[in-house]
Amino acid sequence: MKLDTKAIRYLTAEDWRVLSAVEMGSKNHELVPTSLVTQIAGLRSGSGVHKSISNLAKVGLIAKMKNAKYDGYRLTYGGLDYLALNTHRKSSSIYSVGNQIGVGKESDIYVVASSSGDQRVLKIHRLGRISFRTVKANRDYLRNRNSGSWMYMSRLAAMKEYAFMKVLRDNGFPVPEPIAQSRHTVVMSLVDAFPLRQISSIPDPAGLYAELLALIVQLASFGLIHGDFNEFNILVEEIATPATKSTLSSPSGAPAQTDNTLVQPSTDSTDSSPPPAVTLVPTIIDFPQMISIDHTDAIFYFDRDVNCIKRFFSRRFHFTSDEPGPFFSDAIKHVRKRLDVEVEASGFSRKMAKELDAYMKEVGVDGDAVEGAGEEENSEGEGDSEENSGDEAKETSLSDFNTHFENKSMPSTITRQGLPLVDQTFTSYT
């Protein structure tokens, strides 16, 4: 579903209390009785609750269920989105929301900005988008809450991603900076890079190949396996560094190249300074399927991560290494640190991990390696027809706060497939 923030600034304090009441009631009820909403909201006037319910239902934040046995409402994904955005607004993590830059089976990705204009990324986990299609039994939150609640499971996925991203960042791994997490959303730094799947050529495939396999081994030496390490979840960034004279030797006059670094020749004959060297630096993203090396399927996922990289480099860059491996048994011989234990100590418990793992297997979420996620899918979640009903509203600006990406030029050392990101427009909802 599309994130629509046009109504968020018009919600009153009473509307927020009623929306929060529906969320709290959803922990034990698939359909929260109106009387319970009134009780949890704690508003003095009963008419005020009904007015807020009407306001929230009009903008699709809560919805009724057809053929319900009693009067009540359920929280929609739009309502959960608003509650998360409101938390991020209060903590100053997000000031404005821009365009959607990614969509998959399990999440939606948006560019957002802070009050100072710093561009960030908002990832919204939507595990219910899968469960509503494939698992009919898990709509009963009372009978099977832990494996059935899309709110609970999406929240677990966000908690897991934030926890792993934080420990990885703290230990020097190339991952985005985690900024905040609320409910089913994660706010992280925006990496100015291209997805590996969109790159058609690089100057030194062997160098990047070796670096990516080394990352898989390094993760294992810290007690972790990514579980979905492939071209969809790897970003490649160009970093320009000053070149030394020793790197400029090239008998043919072509750019000198060392490992995965390309030295660009100077076009200005009067410029005596060495041209910059451009290094391709990978960044890992997407961690909801990360597992411990103690996991029963650890060998399978480690080998799958390795084979995904080998298969992609062979298909896209026509590069095949003669060296076998790496192998799981070798990677865990010298475990330096157990980051999986640190994550568990941070609050994302082993029980939560097992619940999320079982749920994702039950609904068929097995990463991008098999089915090539990242392609657009139409959301067919429960109640979409109710949430999206009504005439299409005309696009209006909520404020004068607008900022744009500069047109992103094609990288100098890599050839990218598709079009660059341009004209990302942000709209303030505060």
User: Which residue in this structure is represented by tokens 């399978």?
Assistant: 300
CB 311 within 8 A of CB 131: no
Contact by Cβ (8 Å): 224, 340: yes
Instruction: Calculate the CA dihedral of residues 37, 39, 40, 44 and round it to 10 degrees.
Output: 100
Q: Which residues contact 385 (CB under 8 A, 6 or more apart)?
A: none
Q: 192 vs 41, 245, 251, CA distance in Å?
A: 43, 28, 34
Local structure of residue 139 (DSSP, 8 states): G
CA distance 107 to 349: 22
Residues 85 and 103: their CA atoms lie apart, in Å, by: 18
Centre a 10 Å sphere on the Cβ of residue 147 and count the other Cβ atoms it contains.
18
CA–CA separation, 144 vs 178, rounded Å?
Answer: 31
Specify whether the CB–CB gap between 5 and 427 falls below 8 A. Answer: yes
Catalytic positions are: 228
| Cross-strand partners of 416 | 199
Q: Is the peptide bond before 420 cis (omega within 30 degrees of 0)?
A: no
Exposure class string for 156-187: b at 16+ Cβ within 10 A, else e: bbbbbbbbbbbbbbeeebbbbebbbbbbbbbb
DSSP summary character for residue 375: S
Q: What is the rounded distance in angstroms from the CA atom of residue 145 to the CA atom of residue 149?
A: 5
Q: How far apart are CA 324 and CA 313, in angstroms?
A: 15
Query: Which residues are 123's β-sheet partners?
Result: 109, 186
Measured distance CA(22)–CA(1) in Å, rounded? 20
Cα–Cα distance, 321 to 300 (Å, whole number): 21
Distance, CA of 96 to CA of 282 (rounded, Å): 28
Q: Which two tokens stand for residue 103?
A: 């969509």
